[in-house]
Chains A and B, each alone.
Chain A
């Protein structure tokens, strides 16, 4: 697939954290308008890959291209300013702020909550009713699932070209996971490109268009999600289990 078709491309990315060499030449392509699943065992380097894309850790070697532009040496605020939204594994919720204030922070164009796009907000309330219900409550008092919904809502409060989300279903009850799947399905339908790290296989199978599997700091398989879902032998060899 050409660079024009891929919104995000990593080529030979190496990342060191202190003395530790975590990524060993990651090659990853995220096609425009698709949902790409990034799978792999714990410690495979998935979160480090996302943090490297966001500039939270600098790649020591290799390149990161977004929308045809090399972003490998940019600082995090510049990268986010290119319309990339990031939801970290710990959700990054500001616990002492209200849900409204968390949303307002993510809406870069709005100076007050009243300036947030009302139509988009109503769409988010439809996806995640808890966000509306607890609008004026401190975010720190939300349950784990509600915090996850707030984290995703924050990422989509304004239109973004790329959503990067680290394990959105982590610790969620099954009913909440289904809500989350519905939400991502709607986001996909709206044409937004998504890169999603996920351990929940059910989640990955239902949503993924393309897939990359990581092991030991490298992408060891890349292809269509549907093909991986059908090939049990490949699943076992890559993930140590069948989907």
Chain B
């Protein structure tokens, strides 16, 4: 077991450091608190989406540029489920809202996971080990997926309003903390805890961590890495579906192209984190979420550029990402 002294604290310290650096620039502590909670919520949602993708790359060297289609699919499934449960989402009682959102999340994860299974079998598997073809064919897969979403749900933007009990904000002094953002942070922490437990406390997780480092050796020990990879791909797709629900509720509307829009952020996150590292993906997502919110407030025109600048700065510091995976 790694001891605390073995743990590399510097990247983790980067999150509070970024927040503290932003405080004098933002000026007002209440505005800063609002932006920080919003940034952490956004970061947690992006982490949910990116965690599967980073493992998919780490395990099999697969560049899946089609990951965004699972996000969009999850969000659209949620519009259907939540639309059918309008009585529950319209209630002011939070528990009734959660009863509606929970099956929407499960349905989104199930449908995105099932699509992930087909995506891996028919689109990714024929191009193992061929990066250029992977980029082209997975992007093609995403375009087809978007068009299928348009066939089922139509090409227009669909509203995905927050359930009644999740609207509004808790006011703390002059700071307003939006309720949904706290829910998003809580869901993100739950997903992280579940992933952390699975990866660090189970043999399957041990195999995934080992496979990310040296898949050939895992096979030489008698384990079928392809089967493991399919499992990780399906779980990663399901998590992207869950992230799509969270992102759709965050934006309060969904469009078929939403996956492609989020794709850029996800790739920035997994590159910052170190390809294959879930801990790195969490740090990367939180940094990206905070940076997007601070610059969105301070310098709105530089919001997208700021995350690319953040990635460049991190890569200048650590060219393999904040938590590089060994042996790759």
CA distance A140 to B210 in the complex (A): 13
Please tell me if A183 contacts chain B, counting CB pairs below 8 Å: no
Query: Does chain A have a CB within 8 A of B302?
Result: no
Q: What range describes how many residues of B lie at the interface? A: 20 to 34
Given A94-B214, A95-B326, A96-B213, CB of A105 within 8 Å of CB of B220: no
Interface size class of A (residues with CB under 8 A): 20 to 34
Asked if A108 is at the interface (CB within 8 A of a chain B CB), the reply is yes
Q: B318: shortest Cβ distance to chain A, in Å?
A: 15
Contact of A136 among B1, B206, B325 (CB under 8 A): B1
Query: Which residues in window 181-220 of B have CB below 8 A to A?
Result: 203, 206-207, 209-210, 213-214, 216-220
Q: In residues 143-190 of chain B, which contact A (Cβ within 8 Å)? A: none
Q: How far is the CA of A75 from the CA of B219 in the complex (A)?
A: 9
- Within 8 Å by CB of B216, from A56, A111, A138, lies A56
Nearest-CB distance from B174 to chain A (Å)?
A: 45
CA distance A75 to B224 in the complex (A): 9
**Interface pair B223/A96, CB less than 8 Å apart:** no
Report whether B221 and A80 are in contact in the complex, using a CB–CB cutoff of 8 Å: yes
Contact across chains for B327 and A95 when beta carbons are under 8 A apart: yes
Kindly state the separation between the CA atoms of A33 and B85 in the bound complex, as whole angstroms.
69
Residues of B within 8 A of A98 (CB): 1-2
Select from chain A the residue with minimum beta-carbon distance to B327: A95
B220 touches A54 (CB 8 A): yes
The answer on a CB contact under 8 Å between A80 and B222 is: yes
Tell me whether A92 and B206 are in contact (CB under 8 A). no
A88 within 8 A of B: yes
Q: With A94-B213, A136-B1 as known contacts, state yes or no: A108 contacts B326, CB within 8 Å.
A: no
Given the complex of chains A and B, what is the CA–CA distance between A163 and B220 in angstroms? Answer: 12
A21 → B minimal CB distance (Å): 21
> Within the assembled complex, what's the spacing in Å between the Cα atoms of A136 and B325?
19
Q: B325 contacts which chain A residues (CB < 8 A)?
A: 96
- CB-based nearest B residue for A100: B1
Task: Give the distance in Å from the alpha carbon of A96 to the alpha carbon of B325 in the complex.
Answer: 8
Besides A96-B325, A98-B1, A101-B206, 10 new A-B residue pairs in contact (Cβ under 8 A), listed by A number: A75-B224, A94-B214, A96-B213, A97-B210, A101-B210, A104-B206, A105-B206, A108-B221, A108-B222, A111-B203
What are 12 of the A-B contact pairs (CB < 8 Å)?
A54-B220, A76-B216, A77-B222, A80-B221, A94-B326, A97-B206, A101-B210, A105-B218, A108-B221, A108-B223, A138-B6, A154-B221
Q: Which residues of B contact A (CB under 8 A)?
A: 1-2, 6, 203, 206-207, 209-210, 213-214, 216-225, 325-327
> B-contacting residues of A (Cβ < 8 Å)?
54, 56, 75-77, 80-81, 86, 88, 92, 94-98, 100-101, 104-106, 108, 111-112, 136, 138, 140, 154
